[in-house]
Amino acid sequence: MAWRTALHRSALLRINCLTLDTAAVLNSSLAGLRTCGEASTSLHCAPDGVGGNAIRSRSQHVTSRSFASSPTLATSASKQETGAQPSPVPAVSAEERGATLQAKKQHRDELRNKRREERVRAEFSAALSEGSSAASMSVANEQGTDDLDMDLLAEQYVDQPRIPLLQDKDMLSMGEDDMFTYFPLPPESLPEAFPVHSTAPNLSMLPKSGCNGLIDEYEASGQHYIMYRPIIHFLKQWFIEEQEVSHYLLDGMPSSGKSIAMAALVHWARLSGWVALYVPNAEVLTAGGTFAYNKEKNEWDTPESAKYILHNLLAAHREALQGMRTVDGSSSLSEAAESGLEATGAAAPVTAVLDIIEGLKGQDQVPVLLAVDRYNALYAPSGYGQAEGDHKRRMLGSGELRLARCMRVLEYSAPLKGVSIAALARHDRISQRIPIPLPAWVSPTEVYRFSPEEWANLLLYYGAVGVCAQQHMQLIKSFILTQGNAKELRSMGELLSLLPSTSMYKDRR
């Protein structure tokens, strides 16, 4: 019916009256009602009492209930009752309605972002009220970010307890009170993590073998310091005190700090007199260099990967290995390593690594740490292949490589006196669909991204070394953007200082 169509149109116009000019909407509604009455009379769809008058009385009831408080609306209604003609008002276009809806959405977004900013500000205020963050941030606010330098940060202490942000002591003497501060980790103590400091033979034939997290951190900051995070402290204490658990698996989101935590534990173990066999990238065991089939073992040997391990182990623990014997007692572990390095065949270096690992695990005089990072590469397809015809080549699995299979440290028994630890890689280069066996004796440990308190000290440190600006608002914005990912902070440090403040909290959905 035409009068029903007019009624629906009138109702839609009354809904839009909340955001458009109220007097214009009322006049337009009354004009629609008049048209409805005329249509009902001409088409004889309903009697006058049922059609036009009923609609008019209903409209007046809604108008008086909704807009009685508006003087303009009251005047317009009185004119309608006395028969005065309303002034013509142009119809509202679709563009205007769209602009109104957009303005509403923008207002809601601003309120939501303001509440979000207040919540994050409260979290950081609570974090900065304790520990070294409070004292350091107060210094930053008083001195200004341009005046901060490494010497100034090293001199700032907290009243209770008095702890500087940059520590001069090594990791051996770091305790729970030193968490969130920075300690020195010289590259020379971890030659495996820094290829430029390693003189391993044929290193150029192997994939990138260092610890990417440490390399990126040192290149960005220009300093050789890392944060003493709670995960590092608790793992260190578990290694010292825990007697039942000897297998650990570090997992977590990409760039959460798993690799740096493992490197720090290896550094601590070597300072404590442990023998640490450290592989910062397990991909060096499954790709690169030469490979040869071992008929006796029905497996494949990778001599370059084996010599890489032997060289790094001798460089870090030559003296300790001289006092240990192989399982059969035929030679010391250092002599076995040297003979493996000098061998020209493919099987001898791999056999030397396996003998040394068995010798380390079988003795109970010196603690031993077996650490393998990017552990899931040992279960992925290797970079080697075997010809099976003129036009067919089969990719070898990592389990077919004798050395790679031996380095699956979580599947085998741990040292009699020591710990086996591995960390998973969560990046696109290694498929996340590869199943990783997790025996019952393995303790999975989650490594989370930076907390607000860790982030506060990280920003203070980065501000001092010039990686990014150190301001309170900048700290909050960077934490929201990166969700505690230090790698993203290093890569977008310049961008963070260029973005306007309004775009930091814009809802992109």
> pLDDT value at position 508?
30
Find the helix or strand (DSSP H, E) in which 444 lies: strand 442-446
- Look at 131 and 92; give whichever has higher pLDDT: 92
Dihedral, CA atoms, 249, 250, 253, 256, nearest 10 degrees? -170
HEC secondary structure over 291-357: CEEECCCCEEECHHHHHHHHHHHHHHHHHHHHCCECCCCCCEHHHHHHHHHHCCCCHHHHHHHHHHH
The Cα 284–Cα 207 span in angstroms is 6
Strand, coil or helix: 411: coil
* Residue 245, SS3 per DSSP: coil
DSSP H or E segment with residue 418: strand 418-423
Classify each residue of 403-433 as buried b or exposed e, where b means 16 or more C-beta atoms within 10 Å of its C-beta: bbbbbbbbbbebbeebbbbbbbbbeeebeee
Q: Which of 215-229, 390-404, 488-502 has the lowest mean pLDDT?
A: 488-502
Q: Where are the beta strands (DSSP E) in 358-411?
A: 368-372, 381-389, 392-397
Q: What is the pLDDT of residue 427?
A: 73
Residue 59: what pLDDT?
Answer: 40
- Which pLDDT value is given to residue 188? 87
Six token digits for residue 301: 């040997």
pLDDT at 458 (0 to 100): 82
Measured between alpha carbons, how far is residue 408 from residues 92, 102, 144, 240, 422 in Å? 71, 57, 51, 23, 9
* CA 360 to each of CA 163, 235, 245: distance values in angstroms, whole numbers, following the listed order: 39, 22, 18
The residues facing 41 across adjacent strands are none
What's the pLDDT at 98? Answer: 77
Let me know if 169 is exposed, middle or buried by CB neighbors in 10 A (0-12, 13-18, 19+).
exposed
Element (H, E) at 26: helix 22-43
Phi, psi of 332 (to 5 degrees): -75, 165
The confidence score (pLDDT) of residue 21 equals 43
Structure confidence at residue 482 as a pLDDT band (50, 70, 90): low
Residue 74 has a pLDDT of: 43
Per-residue HEC secondary structure of 454-487 comes to: HHHHHHHHHHHHCCCCCCHHHHHHHHHHHCCCHH
Q: What is the predicted pLDDT for the residue at 75? A: 46
Query: Residue 475: which of 112, 123, 113 has the closest Cα?
Result: 123
Strands 182-184 and 381-389: unpaired
Q: Which amino acid is at 406?
A: C
Residue 109: half-sphere exposure toward Cβ, Cα within 13 Å: 14
pLDDT of residue 360: 96
Whole-number percent of the chain with pLDDT over 90: 36
Which pLDDT band, with edges at 50, 70 and 90, does 480 fall under?
Answer: low
So what's the pLDDT on residue 509?
29
pLDDT bucket at 125, cuts 50 / 70 / 90: low
Q: List the structure tokens of 178.
A: 């030193």
Identity of residue 33: L
Report the alpha-carbon distance of residue 425 to residue 28 in Å, rounded.
66
Binned at pLDDT 50, 70 and 90, residue 111 comes out as confident
Q: Which amino acid is at 143?
A: Q
Q: What is the mean pLDDT of the chain?
A: 73
Residue 23: band (very low, low, confident or very high) from pLDDT cuts 50, 70, 90: very low
- Sign of the dihedral through C-alpha 282, 287, 288, 292: positive
Contact at 8 Å (CB) between 340 and 359?
no
pLDDT class for 87, splitting at 50, 70, 90?
low
| DSSP 3-state of 407 | coil
CA–CA separation, 323 and 318 (whole Å): 9
pLDDT digits (tens, 9 = 90+) for 238-266: 998 877 789 999 999 888 899 999 999 99
Query: What pLDDT digit, counting tens, does each position of 328-378 carry?
Result: 998 999 999 999 999 988 999 999 999 999 999 999 999 999 999 999 999
Higher pLDDT, 470 or 263: 263
pLDDT confidence of residue 453? 81
How confident is the model at residue 369, as a pLDDT? 97
Beta pairing class for 368-372 and 275-279? parallel
- Condensed to tens digits (0 to 9), the pLDDT of residues 24-64 reads 433 444 444 344 444 333 333 333 433 444 333 434 444 44
